[in-house]
Amino acid sequence: MVKSKRILLIVSGGIAAYKSLELIRRLRERGFSVRVVMTKAAQEFVSPLSFAALSGQKVYTELFALTDEAEMGHIELSRDADLVVAVPATANIMGKLASGIADDLASTLLLATDTKILMAPAMNLRMWLNPATQRNLETLLRDGVIFVGPNDGDMACGEFGPGRMAEPLEIAAAIENCLKQPTKIPAPGAAASPSSGSKPLAGRHVLLTSGPTHEPIDPVRYIANRSSGRQGHAIAAAARDAGARVTLVSGPVPIAAPHGVNLVSVETAQQMYDAVHAHLPADIFIGAAAVADWKVSAPSKGKIKKTGDGPPALSLSENPDILASIGKLKKGRPLYVAGFAAETGELEKNGRAKLVKKACDLIVANDVNPETGVMGGDFNTVRLITKAGIEDWPILPKEEVANQLIARIAKLVSELKR
Ligand code: C5P
């Protein structure tokens, strides 16, 4: 189904340009057709002839080549693709797209396209880490551009660090993955929601948890975690857009609930457990909350005072596992149960274990090491773990993770026998 899709490959100028030749082979092996556009700088590294030979198509280089305009105008060139990929993507081409500059064929096509854009950056590590590049990266992620890499590694310039382009096989896999989702972006004015054409979850009840829980120590202190609720709330909004009736059971968060969802505010894990069970039945349950695993066994009724005898000992007891309690329901189990696994190591192993232990259909695993900025941040890099296997998604804004996750779950639920 994903076969014979058309890829517009934009090659910008960097030593990694030679790896795009390998990428074309990998893409053609997978049945994709590839049309190549090169920047002027790219032609300094690899000749257009090599790209023409491997792609089997004319290579485009000039914005104002009249013969090209007669054959195919630049707008058509950019629209005649199922996906536009910039490999390698230099700091320059990222900067141009982030600022809306169109001063050559490559940058014009990136601005004119109506498909998603995937970029595989390649540059010196200082250029990658430069605040200007990082600002542009953030802008592009917000605008929906999908990134693969860069990876840490030895660089052509003799340094080591982030900036090395992802390998062709990794990029080919990311492209295949992208093409499993709709890639055409609706025209301005057309409804933009992924589910706007149809409401794949119409008539369904989606019950989900979001945010942290607060476990009281005394009336003024509590144990909590850094969850912002952004991912869970974005999923609630995506489910609403897909036509579902949504019940959002949320711990204390600094953000507003999306309009049109039924918000049930709770504080502790026990309250979250009770609220979730009170709002069954549901067709789909998604446990996106960062539920505290432990609570203080006997919170103090009054504020605990300093006595001079050292800090008080807190005795902890385990909270109920909400997700497992839903996954293991004998009667009235939702058709689809999904959970999250926020991990700081062994993502795959821990995610797989949770899939089984909590009787889920899907675990969305993510790396919450502080350097990823996921906890409380705008972006998420997730790994989907099901019985069928594992799927890595590129770094995406949390809203986009939510849209794609809901689209995926809606499809899976529609395939189940009622
Ligand atoms: O075991 P761990 O906390 O890593 O599992 C994470 C998943 O389990 C999340 O989906 C979270 O919402 C859910 N969970 C839960 N109740 C708990 C602990 C975790 O529902 N007490």
- For the chain, how many residues are written? 418
Spot the catalytic one: 52, 75, 157, 356: 157
Predicted model pTM: 0.70
How is 200-251 classified by DSSP, letter by letter? TTTT-EEEEEESB--EESSSS-EE-----SHHHHHHHHHHHHTT-EEEEEE-
Contact in structure between 406 and 386 (CB atoms under 8 Å): no
Is any atom of ligand 1 closer than 6 Å to the C-beta of 400?
no
Q: What is the DSSP string of 103-165?
A: -SHHHHHHHH-SB-EEEEE---HHHHHSHHHHHHHHHHHHTT-EE--PEEEE-TTS-EEEEEP
What is the 339 CA–ligand 1 centroid distance (Å)?
7
Candidates 215, 226, 323: which one to mutate for ligand 1, based on the most atoms within 8 Å of Cβ? Answer: 323
368 within ligand 1 shell (Cβ under 6 A): no
Q: Which residue has the tokens 């490559």?
A: 106
Q: Is 326 in the pocket of ligand 1 (CB under 6 A)?
A: no
Our mutation pick for probing the ligand 1 site, out of 208, 250, 358, counting the most ligand atoms within 8 A of Cβ, is 358
What residue type is 118 in one-letter code?
L
CB distance 34 to 7 below 8 Å: yes
Using CA atoms of 178, 179, 180, 185 in order, give the dihedral in degrees to the nearest 10.
80
**157 annotated active-site:** yes
| Residue 46 near residue 11, CB atoms below 8 Å | yes
Contact 73, 62 (CB under 8 A): no
Structure tokens that stand for 366 in this block = 């993510």
Ligand 1 within 6 A of 354 CB?
yes
Spell out the per-residue pLDDT of the chain, length 418, in tens: 445 899 999 999 999 999 999 999 999 999 999 999 999 999 999 999 999 999 999 999 988 765 655 566 777 888 889 999 999 999 999 999 999 999 999 999 999 999 999 999 999 989 999 999 999 998 888 788 888 888 887 777 777 778 899 999 989 988 988 887 778 877 766 654 444 456 899 889 999 999 999 999 999 999 999 899 999 999 999 999 999 989 999 999 998 888 878 899 999 999 999 999 999 999 999 999 999 999 999 999 999 998 888 898 899 999 999 999 999 999 999 999 999 998 888 888 999 999 999 999 999 998 888 777 777 778 888 999 999 999 989 889 999 999 999 999 999 999 886 5
Q: Which domains does the chain have, with CATH numbers?
A: 6-178 (3.40.50.1950), 205-295+316-415 (3.40.50.10300)
Indicate the top mutation candidate among 225, 231, 285, 322 to test ligand 1's pocket, ranked by most ligand atoms within 8 A of CB.
Answer: 322
Q: What's the CA-to-centroid distance between 313 and ligand 1, angstroms? A: 26
Compute the distance between CA of residue 416 and CA of residue 418 in angstroms, rounded to an integer.
6
80/5 Cα distance (integer angstroms): 10
